[in-house]
Amino acid sequence: MDINRYSQINPPQRLLMGPGPINADPRVLRAMSTQLIGQYDPVMTHYMNEVMELYRKIFCTDNYWTMLINGTSRAGIEAILLSAICPGDKVLVPVFGRFGYLLCEIAHRCRAKVNLLETQWGTVFTPDQIEDEIKKIKPKFLLIVHGDTSTTMIQPLKDIGEICKKYHVIFYTDATASIGGNELETDLWGLDAVSAGMQKCLGGPSGTAPITISHQMKEIIRHRKCVEKGIRTVEHKDGDGEIIYSNYFDISMIMDYWGPERLNHHTEATTALFGARECARVILKDGLKKNIARHKLHGDAMLKGIQGMGLKLFGNIEHKMHNILGVIIPKGVNGEQVRKFMLEDFGIEIGTSFGPLHGKIWRIGTMGYNARKDCVLQTLACLEQVLNLVGFPMIPGAAVESALEHYSLENIHV
Ligand SMILES: Cc1ncc(COP(=O)(O)O)c(C=O)c1O
């Protein structure tokens, strides 16, 4: 093996304007270049406690059990579903995009009885639709995505918590794509569990999944049977629920590690924790509301710019997330060729799409560190150039002008 064939990692500069990942905030990258310390060093356990405090604010909750799962966003989903669902439990999954099917798939692996409720991509559910289905199915759990990046839609959850409470249903949402850039009120909306990821509006790299669970959800998880008898003593009563078929994702054990007992489980991914802590600190320093408003401002400016160049948007835009936009690829334009030019000539990545939308829409994100005026204007100007190059006629400069007009109406100059 000739080691000299392997150069240092030195990827090209890219502006990531797709559905995530996005460019990480430089402050987060700096935090992640910090030297390691031992996992039971009091400084480290203090940081873990701080992470719990900071993410309670990000999730808008008082839930004590608010912590990180090491792994990408789906690690957070798997940890919650595997730890809560017993084989044979009935779950209802209203699906409005690709990530709803992911919840179904994971629930199947938990041996749940999975009931699907589907709606057309580009739309969301009304509370009545969900209530009717709950009445029919009588599930133990309702599992729903908050913002589905595949369609760019956000499901209003505000009234669903009340419905779940009325029918004694445990309410979980996947907020990977929405958290930090859109309103999410864990306690006010009656959510029992929420999981998230770093690589979208939180402005970090993927690899950590913040989660929060309510007291009721904690009780369900604690009632599972305990395998490591004699080792795990905290609150484990060797309950009546079946064992959790995962060691790594057993939230009971993870709680024992994050809680005051500090019982050994995995070795916390220190560098990822430093990054996650910095993401939350940066957002909360400005204020969560301000961060959400920033995502709305730049998301709307992108939308105006796209409309300004004569392109059409996908789905019911009244229900789109602030941080992402589905753009219909005009007839006669090769969507992949446009993405290639954007990446190779301008260093800008925009997103493709999945399933029924494959080849039909681009997904353009304005999130986290890249929810900025300069990123929006650069992307619009370059996309206009590329579209001209591939023969799609438009009024030169119209996109940037429309976005600038939006900024001037909003009185934003930076
Ligand atoms: C809504 C949603 N859920 C889950 C995931 C899966 O995340 P990860 O790839 O970090 O596991 C994504 C990724 O884009 C997502 O958008």
pLDDT tens for 248-295 read 999 999 999 999 999 999 999 999 999 999 999 999 999 999 999 999
Radius of gyration of the chain (CA): 22
- In the DSSP assignment, the letter for residue 397 is T
Confidence of residue 414 (pLDDT cuts 50, 70, 90): very low
> Is the pLDDT reported for residue 233 higher than 80?
no
Q: In the block, which residue shows the tokens 């260093």?
A: 347
Average pLDDT over residues 208-236: 82
Of the listed ranges 135-139, 171-175, 353-357, the one predicted with least confidence? 353-357
Q: What angle do CA 340, 344, 345 make, to 5 degrees?
A: 110
> Is the pLDDT reported for residue 224 higher than 80?
yes
- Ligand 1 site, CB within 6 A: 20, 72-74, 99, 145, 148-149, 174, 176-177, 197, 206
**What are the residue ranges of helices labelled H in 313-396?**
335-346, 373-389
Q: What is the pLDDT of residue 385?
A: 95
Query: 220 with 244: CB under 8 angstroms?
Result: no
**Tokens representing 38?**
């031992």
pLDDT tens-digit map of 321-342:
999 999 999 999 999 999 999 9
Distance 219 CA to ligand 1 centre (A): 27
Which residues are known binding-site members for substrate?
Answer: 363
User: In order of start, what are the domains of the chain with their CATH numbers?
Assistant: 26-283 (3.40.640.10), 288-409 (3.90.1150.10)
Q: What is the pLDDT of residue 232?
A: 59
Does 1 or 114 have the greater pLDDT score?
114
Residue type, position 196, single letter: A
Distance 150 CA to ligand 1 centre (A): 10
> Is the pLDDT reported for residue 410 higher than 90?
no
pLDDT tens-digit map of 96-151:
999 999 999 999 999 999 999 999 999 999 999 999 999 999 999 999 999 999 99
Distance 19 CA to ligand 1 centre (A): 10
Long-range contact set of residues 34-42: C-beta below 8 Å, sequence gap at least 24: 34/271, 34/274, 36/270, 36/271, 37/270, 39/267, 39/268, 39/270, 40/262
Which ligand 1 atom lies nearest to the CA of residue 149?
Answer: 16
